[in-house]
Amino acid sequence: MALCAVPALATTAEGSKPAELSTASGNYLAGRTAAVLRDMDAAATFLRSALRAAPKDAELLDRTFRIVLASGDFDQAAALAERVAEVDPNNRLARLTLAVRAIKARQYAAARTQLGQALRGPMPDVVAALVSAWAWQGSGDTARALKTADTLSGNDLITVFRDLHAGLIADIGGNSAEAGKRLEAAYNADQSLYVVVDAYARHLARTGKRDDAQKVFGELAAKMPRNARLANTIDDLEKGRKISPLIDNARDGAAEALFTFGHLASRSESAEIGLVYLNLALYLNPQHELGLLTLADLQETIGQHNEAIEVLRRVPAASAFHDDVDLRIAINLAASDRNEDAEKQLRALIAENKNDIDAIVALGNLMHREKKYADAAAVFSQAVDATVEPKKSDWSLFFARGVAYDAAKDWRRAEKDLRMAVDLDPEQAVALNYLGYSWIDRGLNYDQGVDLIKKAVELRPNDGDIVDSLGWAYYRLGKYPEATTELERAVELKPQSWEINDHLGDVYWRTGRQLEAKFQWLHALSLEIDDEKRGPIERKLTEGLDKVEAEQMAAKQAENNTAPANPGTAKP
């Protein structure tokens, strides 16, 4: 890139880089690094600074524009889009951004002009075509809007979106028959998309087919039993209230098209383009509830918890999702290490509803993360007590409390809860593994523990922690060749685990490979490890394994309040 080459060519008499060019390069590299780390606000700040030092660098201009748009600063992004379009008239994202700005201002003809290039050729841009169709509808030309949407063809998903938006356009244009035909086609093609089912059912309800609408909504509710917005719509339908259309103006229609593609791209590996489309949608419709929630979801996924909090606070207070929003804000506060604020908000939610299981579990998780294990177990007990008769899905409540009891050194209660979790759902690998490993590590129930762990490995064969448990079980049973095989595989699956490396060091020591054992222990100490876990490994390096392991087993037996087991060569 030109910017990177400039500092190498231009130097001072002493051979050092000029300050302004060095700063430009530094800002560019810092911006690129921040973008890789998914910190779009920081990336935008650094890249704008770099651009000020190299304003004619076309590649830097385009990159800065995209990152600023992904950060949500639409006004700055639109200003940059104008410059990008001057340098590269065919830049589709710049043209789309300028079209969105025009639609916001109800300048629909100007929006279509911006999108014209993207619609030429045998394969028109899907997003541009749908936004352009809505721009025609904004001008009152439903026929041209439908014709523009119908230029789209290709895979099944494109066809679904074409029919969905054609149906919404026809509905606004007063052609109810065409709207019904298109929305039904979208629904028949794909009933997994909430927006498709919702739009179709709403049209049925508004055209006198309320029984059919109830059936469609009911099937959707069975798949999404906790969707508050859907529950409210069904309640309105059952009580004879008016059902509003999904979209009632062109601006919101264009926003819905942009949201759809932002939602599809809202995964970690495609975070930047997801952020771009979602921010474009929210510029057009700042109150788009699902858009705000999806943007917050994506920000949570890429670790931008403070940004997610700000987006969640934009969700309207009257939203059906607001209870969930309050909980998510608390969870994000905890994830951003604002634990005191998180605890305060969670306790307030529980005070409002003592049976709010989600809030109780979130508070319990927070207590556990702060290493307040007894407090965590007490909080999880509130959730357990709220379950009148435990169901299969309640396994996680007993598991969470069992893990908290275990960390609090209360093995008797921990074992009871862990057994309950496994009994409720015997297909949960994490519960099988935890109970099996805990037994074996304490010298208890070896055969049953191994069986549980083997089942867990069958369920999740590429989980390094679970494979490690199987290796450790073999180690405790004195089956060192099998232990070596499994622990070496576990290290390959999860090389950054200090515990797996420590275990592998132990089995190497037992098989006479003492130099390799010390290497594994040293490597374990170089990884992320709690201070309390470092001491025993450091002692193994200086004193060897026997004494340290004997002390550890004695401590486990004391904790168990059981006599030492005697599985032959199972324990040194």
Question: Is there a single domain that holds both residue 372 and residue 482?
Answer: no
Q: What pLDDT score does 24 carry?
A: 65
Query: Which pLDDT value is given to residue 563?
Result: 38
pLDDT number for residue 268? 65
Helices (H) and strands (E) in the chain, counts: 32, 0
Residue 153 within any structural domain of the chain: no
Say which DSSP state 125 is in: -
pTM for this prediction: 0.79
Nearest Cα neighbor of 451 from 462, 440, 465, 463 is 440
Nearest CA among 366, 289, 290 for reference residue 327:
366
The 3-state DSSP class for residue 330 equals helix
> Is 459 inside a domain boundary?
yes
In a domain, 108, yes or no: no
Q: Check whether residue 484 and residue 565 sit in a common domain.
A: yes
Domain assignment present for 193: no
Task: Return d(Cα 212, Cα 206) in angstroms, integer.
Answer: 11
With a pLDDT cut of 70, the percent of the chain lying above it is 92
Other CB atoms within 10 A of residue 243 CB? 18
Q: Which of 392, 425, 458 is the last residue of a domain?
A: 425
Burial of 386 (C-beta count, 10 Å sphere; 0-12/13-18/19+): middle
309 part of a folded domain: no
Classify 356 as helix, strand or coil. coil
Q: Which of 67, 88, 109 is where one domain is finished?
A: 88
Mean pLDDT of 75-100: 95
User: Is the pLDDT reported for residue 570 higher than 80?
Assistant: no
Which pLDDT does position 561 carry in this prediction?
59
159-216 pLDDT per residue, tens: 999 999 999 999 999 999 999 999 999 999 999 899 999 999 999 999 999 999 999 9
CA 252, CA 242: separation in Å to the nearest integer? 20
**In this structure, what CATH number is given to the domain that contains residue 553?**
1.25.40.10
Residues 571 and 448 in one domain: yes
Q: Which two tokens stand for residue 500?
A: 């797996």
The pLDDT value recorded for residue 418 is 98
Same-domain check for residues 572 and 444: yes
Contact by Cβ (8 Å): 23, 6? no
- The answer to whether 262 and 294 are in contact (CB under 8 A) is yes
Task: Tell me the residue range of the domain where 512 lies.
Answer: 439-572
Q: 445 and 572 in one domain?
A: yes
pLDDT in tens, 374-419: 999 999 999 999 888 899 999 999 999 999 999 999 999 999 999 9
Does 503 share its domain with 565?
yes
Domain boundary among 88, 119, 136: 88
Q: How many residues does the chain have?
A: 572
Measured at the alpha carbon of residue 104, what is the angle toward residues 99 and 105, in degrees to the nearest 5? 95
Residue 207 or residue 40, greater confidence:
207
Cβ atoms of 170 and 148 closer than 8 Å: no
Does 410 share its domain with 529? no
Total number of domains constituting the chain: 3
Tell whether 385 and 510 lie within a shared domain. Answer: no
**Average pLDDT taken over every residue of the chain:** 89
Residues near 120 by Cβ (< 8 Å), separated by ≥ 6?
none
| 301-332: pLDDT as tens digits | 999 999 999 999 999 988 888 888 999 999 99
> Do 543 and 458 fall into the same domain?
yes
Q: What one-character-per-residue DSSP string does 269-292 give?
A: GGHHHHHHHHHHHHHH-TT-HHHH
Enumerate residues 6+ apart whose C-beta is below 8 A from 72. 40, 275, 279, 282
Q: What confidence tier does 349 reach under pLDDT thresholds 50, 70, 90?
A: very high
Does one domain contain both 567 and 447?
yes
Q: Are residues 382 and 502 in the same domain?
A: no
At 486, list the tokens: 């499994």
Cβ density class 510-536: b for 16+ within 10 Å, e for less: beebeeebbebbebbbeeebeeeeeee
Structure tokens at 42: 């920081």
Distance CA 102, CA 233 (A): 33
> What does the alpha-carbon distance between residue 339 and residue 303 come to, in Å, rounded to a whole number?
16
| DSSP output for 307-355 | HHHHHHTTS-TT-TTHHHHHHHHHHHHHHTT-HHHHHHHHHHHHHH-TT
Q: What is the rounded distance in angstroms from the CA atom of residue 515 to the CA atom of residue 538?
A: 15
As a whole number of angstroms, the distance between CA 238 and CA 154 comes to: 39
The mean per-residue pLDDT over the stretch 357-373 comes to 95
Q: What CA–CA distances, in Å, run from 335 to 251, 301, 313? A: 35, 11, 16
What are 340's two structure tokens?
Answer: 């005191």
In a domain, 17, yes or no: yes
Closest CA to 76 of 103, 40, 111, 107: 40
Domain-located, residue 184: no
Those residues whose C-beta lies under 8 Å from the C-beta of residue 229, and which sit 6 or more positions away, are 289, 319, 320, 321
What is the mean pLDDT of the segment spanning 453-470? 96
Residue 163 domain-assigned? no
Answer yes or no: do 452 and 572 share one domain.
yes
Tell me: pLDDT of 29 over 70: yes
